[in-house]
Amino acid sequence: MDEHLLIQKYFSNIGSAYLAEHNVEVTVGDDASVITSQNKTQLINSLDTSIEGVHFLDSMSPEDIAYRACAVALSDLAACGAVPKWYSLALTLPKINENWLKDFSHGLNKFSDEYRVPLVGGDTTKGPLSITIQVMGETDSGKAILRSNAKKDQLIFVSGMIGNAYLGLNELKDISSSNINILSYLNPKARIELGQELLDIASSAIDISDGLLQDLSLICKASDVGAEIFLDKIPTSVTEKSLELINSGDDYELCFTTDKDKYDKVMNISTMLNIPITSIGKITSSKEVVLYDNNKTRIKFKSGYKHF
The closest alpha carbon to 105, from 86, 85, 91, 84, belongs to 91
CA dihedral 240, 242, 247, 252 (to 10 degrees): -10
Least separation in angstroms between residue 232's CB and a second copy is 28
Cα separation, 101 vs 96, in Å, equals: 8
Smallest gap from Cβ 287 to a second copy, in A, equals 15
User: Which of 98, 232 has the CB closer to a second copy?
Assistant: 98
Q: Between 83 and 231, name the residue whose CB sits nearer to a second copy.
A: 83
Q: Which is nearer to a second copy, 128 or 276 (CB)?
A: 128
Q: What is the CA radius of gyration of the chain?
A: 20
Q: Which is nearer to a second copy, 90 or 275 (CB)?
A: 90
Question: What is the 8-class DSSP label of residue 234?
Answer: S
C-alpha span between 268 and 237 (Å, rounded): 22
Q: What's the one-letter identity of residue 92?
A: T
Q: How far is the CB of 13 from a second copy (least distance, A)?
A: 16
Which one-letter DSSP state was computed for residue 232? G
Q: How far is the CB of 296 from a second copy (least distance, A)?
A: 29
Looking at this protein, which amino acid is placed at residue 269?
Answer: I
Residue among 95 and 296 whose Cβ is closer to a second copy: 95
| Residues linked to residue 209 through DSSP beta bridges, in sequence order | none
CA distance 287 to 265: 27
Q: Which amino acid is at 137?
A: G
- Helix, strand or coil for residue 99? helix
Greatest alpha-carbon span in the chain = 65
Nearer to a second copy, 34 or 180 (CB): 34
Minimum distance, C-beta of residue 86 to a second copy, in the bound complex (Å):
8
CB of 200 to a second copy, least distance (A): 16
